[in-house]
């Protein structure tokens, strides 16, 4: 076994070391829950567009069959987690803090679990675009919790190559052990997935980062790597929350700090979760889309454990397997630091569900009452983003959102370290979330207002232009009329000089000629009531028109010269 | 806050040992006044009373006032100062966490401007007073003048800047070794408490270090140039409230700076102004004024010393661009 010497590590500022409670759910191997009879598969399970349903009610689907088609490039497909019949496509409650509903495909399982025909994807012959499309259609998203479509991250390095591919096995949140158990039990497959990713990304080096509180996972991964003959480094990183945050792990391993709003690939680094590596392996090597994930059930249960859960299984069915204690009063998706409290357990497990954490008054006692901030600065010491949380709190409370942005509010990763250390028990992250959502709402409002203003301004412009065109048109007509009048006057003079007898005929001829000219010049205007006017009337009209034309000439300089 | 009070006890013990129980009476008076004023203001402001009184912040203010006041001063000196600190400097500005000025220093500054003479009469060391004598001094008429004297700083000041006598520091210290020893022990008590606070991570190293280093440097350089006109570092450190200020007064988080660089600038500024007032100003000790002046500057200092956030540090971008 070739062991690489531990490379030089870097540190990020701040962070906390809470109680981890990880041994609770690592005593028994990953379990397989009994096959559910009904699955509720939300179509929107990743960042980006909501996939469109491509099955209909009553249709029989196979396990792994695509039921939701990716909506655009920033989206990922959704698949049937087992074989059965689609009984409904309707709004169902999602695992979301406010109990949001979204379109779900409800599947009645037939118990056979018939798979679609799976075949490996020949990625070496495929173009970058084909690989992207394949992974998007396999529904592979980041399983660390962010559920960012993985194909978007596997794209960038294909031709140019990147320096370091980082595989995130840090898992820094308390209670959560799904990645730990996955690495212990499926290290070989993870390593194969990493190898695939490396080839797709054309990465120079690969580094698998694991926190040092997971010795068994580290050993399993080291064994798998040395057996695979790959030159991946398995790097032990110090246990300190939030070392598992992508940007923090990149910092620890490479020393690079990726600023807010920039992508790590710009710095030659790409980071994936270990479970995502496994999903990519299954998609490419086995041709199996993402239909299940490992979920930790921990907290206020007597038998905490990890399960490989089909996407769409109801949380309450999984929780029931772990004997929740009677005093359970809440359910959290994710960990105690960053997880979201759910309105009910009657929601499906989705691709983002890494942990179902049950809480009680005993495990998570209610926070003591909020006291005034005394600017002690503990939060600034704990902040891994090097922010001044106390200033942000001040600005968020005062609704000075501009100042909050100036103090880098949006660099906040909402890790919760500040709230954790605050001696005044201020739920700081709640204030930042409030400020962020207010700013988003205002920006949205501003965009709408901008749009309305643009519409208004265009209308104004159009009205002006039309008015101007009308003026120009009338002026042209008047000019023609004036010309005609001048000519007719000259002709009349000539005629009167010639004699009175032919005067009427000459006048009529002149009128006819003038009409003809006017018709030719102002082709688009065909006045209807000017057919049978007398000579006097016509002369009068011409006079009026020429007067008008003069007035318009005077008014003209006020208009823009180019319109 | 309770740990801050605990950290003050070694200094208080030394104080009481050398100068008699007067300081304990003053502490009691200040504490009682502070708690009552705090409760009253919380009630008027419709805030939860017991929870906020229980945070100990009013007691810290009270103790700092009592410790920086002459222990044999009349009772109302401390009471009025405490009322000003709690009612005006703290609650009228919005209560805990909102006050721009250090409340204890507002109380001190008010009284030293209003009653400079009474604020300068300190008990002579070794004049072991029993509680009765101290009580008579504090609550009775101002008759026991024999046991009180000006602070060493005050004496020196008069001596150094007086026209008649030029009294060197050494001469003064030699003339009153008992006083010298007493102030040294009290300073040591505060130092011990302060170091414990540092170890407990209640305060950070920035402020005490910057304050003490600046004071030592200024005293060292100036006394080396002209020993007859300036005090040496040791004298600067043990006299007045230097140690108390270094660990308990400049470290007030609410009215001071919060960024690491800001803390260094803040404490350096306090030490510099203190030293200037001590030697060139009109008051024997300038810590209160120095703290208040720097309190004014704190928000500005904080604004200009914001640390660089993650990913936006100076050395960024060069590695991979």
- CB contacts of A262 in chain B (<8 Å) are 311
Report pLDDT for A192: 94
Question: In whole angstroms, what is the distance from residue A390 CA to residue A38 CA?
Answer: 48
| Tens of pLDDT, residues A216-243 | 999 999 999 999 989 999 999 999 999 9
- CB contacts of B319 in chain A (<8 Å) are 255-256, 267
Give the rounded percent of residues in chain B with a pLDDT score beyond 70.
83
Q: Does residue A505 surpass a pLDDT of 90?
A: no
Report pLDDT for B157: 54
- The rounded mean pLDDT for chain B is 83
| Tens of pLDDT, residues B240-294 | 688 999 999 999 999 999 999 999 999 999 999 999 988 887 777 789 999 999 9
Give residue for tokens 């305060």. B203
pLDDT-derived band at B153 (thresholds 50, 70, 90) equals: low
Tokens standing for residue A41: 């598969």
Number of cross-chain residue pairs from A and B with Cβ atoms under 8 Å apart: 80
Q: Which segment of A62-71, A554-563, B115-124 scores lowest on mean pLDDT?
A: A554-563
| Tens of pLDDT, residues B130-144 | 777 777 777 775 544
Q: Which segment of A322-336, B151-165, B303-317 scores lowest on mean pLDDT?
A: B151-165
- Give the nearest chain A residue to B203 (CA atoms): A376
Rounded to the nearest 10°, the torsion over CA A534, A540, A541, A546 is 150
Chain A nearest CA to B107, separation (Å): 20
Candidates B52, B57, B253; nearest CB to A375: B253
Mean pLDDT calculated for residue range B30-43: 95
- CB contacts of A12 in chain B (<8 Å) are 310
pLDDT-derived band at A51 (thresholds 50, 70, 90) equals: very high
Candidates B51, B302, B310; nearest CB to A257: B310
Q: Does residue B178 surpass a pLDDT of 90?
A: no
Question: In whole angstroms, what is the distance from residue A159 CA to residue A127 CA?
Answer: 10
Contacts of A355 (CB under 8 A, 6+ apart): A173, A175, A176, A178, A295, A296, A297, A298, A332, A333, A334, A335, A339
pLDDT-derived band at B2 (thresholds 50, 70, 90) equals: confident
Mean pLDDT calculated for residue range A66-93: 93
| Tens of pLDDT, residues A260-311 | 888 888 888 999 999 999 999 999 999 999 999 999 999 999 999 999 999 9
Contact (CB, 8 A) for A72 and A52: no
Report pLDDT for B166: 35
Q: Does residue A406 surpass a pLDDT of 60?
A: yes
Determine phi and psi for A300, rounding to 5 degrees: -85, 55
Higher-confidence position of A552 and A481: A481
- Give the nearest chain B residue to A11 (CA atoms): B310
pLDDT-derived band at B316 (thresholds 50, 70, 90) equals: very low
Q: Which segment of A228-232, A485-489, A556-560, B40-44 scores lowest on mean pLDDT?
A: A556-560
Rounded to the nearest 10°, the torsion over CA A538, A539, A545, A551 is -160
pLDDT-derived band at B176 (thresholds 50, 70, 90) equals: low
C-alpha dist (Å) from residue B50 to A425, B32, B39, B54, B84: 17, 15, 8, 6, 21
- CB contacts of A258 in chain B (<8 Å) are 311
Taking residue A484's Cβ as centre, other Cβ atoms within 10 Å add up to 22
List the domains of chain A with CATH numbers: 23-342 (3.40.50.11540), 456-558 (no CATH)
Give the rounded percent of residues in chain A with a pLDDT score beyond 70.
93
Question: In whole angstroms, what is the distance from residue A357 CA to residue A308 CA?
Answer: 16
Contacts of A367 (CB under 8 A, 6+ apart): A425, A427
pLDDT-derived band at B155 (thresholds 50, 70, 90) equals: low
Q: Which segment of A422-431, A529-538, B190-199 scores lowest on mean pLDDT?
A: A529-538
Candidates A251, A262, A385; nearest CB to B309: A385
Candidates B253, B254, B310; nearest CB to A386: B310
Higher-confidence position of B317 and A444: A444
Segments making up each domain of chain B, as ranges: 1-150, 152-305
pLDDT-derived band at A2 (thresholds 50, 70, 90) equals: very low
Candidates B95, B253, B307; nearest CB to A386: B307
Question: In whole angstroms, what is the distance from residue B270 CA to residue B263 CA?
Answer: 11
Q: Which segment of A158-172, A452-466, B34-48, B284-298 scores lowest on mean pLDDT?
A: A158-172
Give residue for tokens 């000041």. B157
Report pLDDT for B272: 95
Contact (CB, 8 A) for A418 and A382: yes
Q: What is the helix (H) or strand (E) element at residue B14, kind and residue range?
A: helix B2-19
pLDDT-derived band at B151 (thresholds 50, 70, 90) equals: low
| Tens of pLDDT, residues A506-527 | 778 888 888 887 777 655 555 5
Of the spans A4-13, A470-479, A529-538, B135-144, which averages the highest pLDDT? Answer: A470-479
Q: Does residue B163 surpass a pLDDT of 70?
A: no
User: Exposure string (b/e) for B254-288, b if CB count within 10 Å is 16 or more?
Assistant: bbbbbbeebbbbbbbbbbbbbbebbbebebbbbbb
Q: Does residue B307 surpass a pLDDT of 70?
A: yes
- CB contacts of A421 in chain B (<8 Å) are none
Q: Which residues pair with A31 in a beta bridge?
A: A307
Q: What is the pTM of this model?
A: 0.78
Report pLDDT for A116: 92
Give the rounded percent of residues in chain A with a pLDDT score beyond 90.
64
Whole-complex ipTM: 0.83
Q: Does B310 touch chain A (CB under 8 A)?
A: yes
- Give the nearest chain A residue to B308 (CA atoms): A386
Q: At what angle do helices A535-555 and A428-498 cross, to 10 degrees?
A: 140
């Amino acid at each position: 076994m070739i062991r690489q010497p531990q490379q030089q590590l870097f540190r990020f500022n701040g962070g906390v070391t809470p109680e981890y409670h990880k041994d609770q759910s690592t005593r028994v191997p990953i379990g397989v829950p009994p096959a559910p009879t009904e699955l509720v598969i939300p179509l929107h399970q990743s960042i980006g567009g909501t996939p469109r349903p491509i099955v209909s009610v009553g249709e029989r689907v196979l396990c792994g069959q695509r039921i939701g088609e990716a909506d655009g490039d920033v989206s990922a497909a959704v698949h049937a987690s087992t074989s059965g019949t689609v009984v409904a496509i309707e709004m169902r409650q999602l695992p979301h803090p406010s109990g949001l509903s979204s379109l779900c495909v409800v599947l009645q399982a037939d118990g056979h679990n018939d798979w679609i025909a799976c075949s490996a994807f020949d990625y070496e012959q495929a173009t970058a675009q084909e690989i992207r499309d394949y992974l998007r259609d396999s529904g592979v998203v980041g399983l660390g919790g962010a559920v960012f479509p993985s194909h978007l991250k596997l794209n960038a390095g294909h031709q140019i190559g990147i320096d370091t591919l980082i595989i995130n096995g840090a898992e820094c949140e308390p209670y959560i052990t799904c990645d730990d158990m996955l690495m212990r039990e499926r290290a070989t497959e993870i390593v194969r997935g990493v190898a695939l990713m490396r080839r797709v990304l054309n990465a120079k080096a690969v580094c698998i980062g694991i926190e040092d509180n997971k010795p068994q996972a580290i050993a399993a991964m080291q064994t798998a790597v040395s057996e695979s003959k790959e030159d991946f480094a398995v790097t032990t990183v110090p246990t300190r929350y939030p070392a598992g945050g992508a940007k923090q792990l990149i910092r620890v391993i490479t020393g690079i700090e990726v600023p807010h709003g920039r992508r790590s690939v710009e710095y030659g680094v790409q980071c994936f979760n270990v479970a995502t590596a496994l999903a990519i392996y299954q998609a490419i090597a086995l041709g199996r889309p993402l239909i299940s994930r490992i979920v930790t059930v921990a907290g206020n249960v007597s038998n905490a454990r990890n399960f490989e859960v089909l996407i769409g299984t109801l949380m309450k069915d999984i929780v029931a397997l772990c004997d929740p204690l009677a005093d359970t009063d809440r359910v959290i998706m994710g960990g105690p630091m960053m997880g979201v409290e759910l309105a009910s357990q009657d929601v499906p497990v989705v691709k983002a569900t890494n942990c179902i954490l049950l809480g009680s008054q005993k495990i998570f006692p209610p926070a003591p009452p909020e006291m005034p901030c005394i600017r002690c600065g503990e939060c600034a010491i704990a902040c891994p983003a090097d922010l001044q949380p106390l200033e942000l709190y001040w600005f968020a409370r005062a609704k000075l959102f501009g100042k909050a942005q100036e103090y880098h509010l949006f660099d906040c990763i909402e890790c919760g370290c500040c709230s954790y250390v605050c001696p005044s028990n201020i739920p700081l992250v709640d204030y930042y979330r409030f400020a962020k959502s207010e700013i988003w709402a205002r920006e949205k409002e501003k965009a709408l207002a901008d749009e309305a203003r643009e519409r208004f301004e265009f209308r104004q412009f159009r009205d002006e232009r039309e008015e101007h065109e009308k003026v120009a048109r009338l002026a042209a007509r008047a000019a023609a009329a004036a010309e005609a009048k001048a000519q007719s006057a000259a002709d009349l003079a000539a005629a009167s000089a010639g004699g009175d007898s032919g005067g009427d005929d000459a006048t009529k001829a002149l009128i006819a000629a003038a009409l003809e000219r006017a018709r030719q010049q102002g082709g688009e205007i065909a006045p209807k009531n000017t057919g049978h006017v007398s000579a006097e009337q016509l002369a009068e009209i011409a006079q009026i028109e020429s007067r008008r034309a003069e007035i318009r000439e005077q008014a003209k300089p006020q208009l823009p010269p180019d319109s | 806050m309770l740990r801050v009070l605990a950290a003050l006890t070694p200094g208080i013990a030394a104080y009481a040992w050398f100068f008699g129980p007067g300081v304990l009476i003053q502490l009691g008076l200040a504490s009682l006044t502070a708690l009552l004023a705090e409760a009253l203001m919380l009630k008027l402001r419709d805030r939860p009373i017991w929870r906020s009184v229980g945070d100990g912040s009013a007691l810290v203010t009270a103790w700092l006032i009592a410790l920086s006041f002459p222990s044999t001063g009349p009772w109302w000196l401390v009471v009025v100062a405490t009322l000003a600190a709690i009612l005006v400097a703290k609650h009228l500005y919005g209560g805990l966490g909102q006050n721009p000025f250090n409340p204890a220093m507002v109380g001190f500054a008010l009284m030293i401007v209003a009653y400079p003479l009474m604020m300068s009469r300190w008990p002579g060391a070794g004049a072991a007073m029993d509680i009765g004598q101290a009580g008579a001094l504090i609550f009775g008429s101002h008759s026991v003048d024999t046991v009180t004297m000006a602070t060493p700083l005050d004496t020196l000041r008069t001596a150094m800047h007086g026209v008649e006598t030029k009294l060197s520091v050494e001469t003064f210290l030699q003339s009153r070794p008992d006083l010298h020893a007493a102030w040294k022990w009290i300073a040591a008590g505060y130092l011990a408490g302060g170091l414990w606070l540092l170890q407990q991570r209640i305060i950070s190293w920035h402020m005490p270090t910057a304050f003490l280093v600046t004071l030592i440097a200024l005293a060292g350089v100036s006394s080396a140039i002209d020993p007859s006109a300036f005090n040496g570092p040791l004298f600067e450190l043990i006299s007045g409230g230097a140690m108390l200020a270094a660990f308990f007064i400049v470290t007030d988080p609410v009215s001071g700076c919060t960024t690491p660089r800001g803390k260094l600038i803040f404490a350096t500024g306090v030490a510099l102004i203190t030293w200037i007032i001590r030697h060139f100003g009109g008051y024997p000790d300038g810590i209160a004024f120095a703290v208040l002046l720097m309190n004014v500057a704190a928000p500005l200092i904080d604004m200009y010393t914001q640390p660089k956030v993650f990913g936006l540090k100076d050395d960024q971008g060069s590695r991979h661009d």
